[in-house]
Amino acid sequence: MDISFVIPCSNEEQQLPSCLDSLLEQTIKPMQVIVVLNGCADNSEKIAKDYQKRFVDNNIEFDIVNSKKGLINARATGFSKVRGNIIASIDADSILIPQWVQYMIDAFEQDNNIVGITGKTVFRNKSIAIKLLNLFNAAASRAKKTIPLRGNNCAIKNLNINWYDGYNIMKETLESNGCILESHHDDFFLMHRLKKHGSIIYEKEAKASLFMKDKGTNNLNFLRLLERWQNRKQNSKMIANYFEKHSELVVD
């Protein structure tokens, strides 16, 4: 299996080098890495270009592309450029363990019914709130029957479609009905488009650490974390209801 990584990047000059280093250190090398510059005003583009030769020297295709502002636009642009039969979706601050690609490939090869895999994500911020969030995420992932995709740490089969077709219409419809699509809605959108074709599983060994930022700040307190969790729960329910009424969005 050939894996293509898609990495949206928006002013991540502090985090991007560690992310790219973790890809170079994979025990099984990916076929392709796509860094999507999403309105960067810092040195992210220079850093990506500095790393390009290192990837090429390791026989890894390394593409740098630009997208319209916004995470959804960045992921959609990156997804449209992939050449591998597996799309790995991570963030520019994701740091993967060296065996990440190996665990993903093993899982896909063991069960042909699998169409998506979410890895274990922990946040490396040093705060009590984040430590509690890590514990909560781990417990929730073990308990859930339906595993949501996480765009910062997941892999999906490449079905050669326009992945975000219909997303903007859905977003406008839900927001007009009071849904605040703040976080994870792109993950839920992909999950519902995929699930007709197979299962989405949780692979706890495919670990990634991230640096959580919130509305431009690194300061997260318990009340803000609770607000984000409630918002995510609302997003999940409203997107599920939307897909029940719009079956044409499910990948054929």
Range with the largest mean pLDDT of 32-36, 177-181, 216-220: 32-36
Give pLDDT tens digits for 124-171: 766 555 555 555 555 555 555 556 678 889 999 998 777 778 888 888
Is 163 in contact with 190 (CB distance < 8 Å)? Answer: yes
Share of the chain above pLDDT 90, in %: 48
- pLDDT-based confidence at residue 174 (cuts at 50, 70, 90): confident
Mean of pLDDT values over 79-85: 94
Does 79 have pLDDT greater than 70?
A: yes
pTM of the model: 0.85
**Three-state SS across the chain?**
CCEEEEEEECCCCCCHHHHHHHHHCCCCCCCEEEEEECCCCCCHHHHHHHHHHHHHHCCCEEEEEECCCCHHHHHHHHHCCCCCCEEEEECCCCEECCCHHHHHHHHHHHCCCEEEEEEEEEECCCCHHHHHHHHHHHHHHHHCCCCCCCCCEEEEECCCCCCCCCHHHHHHHHHHCCCCCCCCHHHHHHHHHHHHHCEEEEEEEEEEEECCCECCECCCCHHHHHHHHHHHHHHHHHHHHHHHHCHHHCCC
Does 176 have pLDDT greater than 50?
A: yes
pLDDT higher for 129 or 216?
A: 129
Fold of 3-163+198-217: Spore Coat Polysaccharide Biosynthesis Protein SpsA; Chain A (3.90.550)
Is 2 in contact with 108 (CB distance < 8 Å)? Answer: no
Does 58 have pLDDT greater than 80?
A: yes
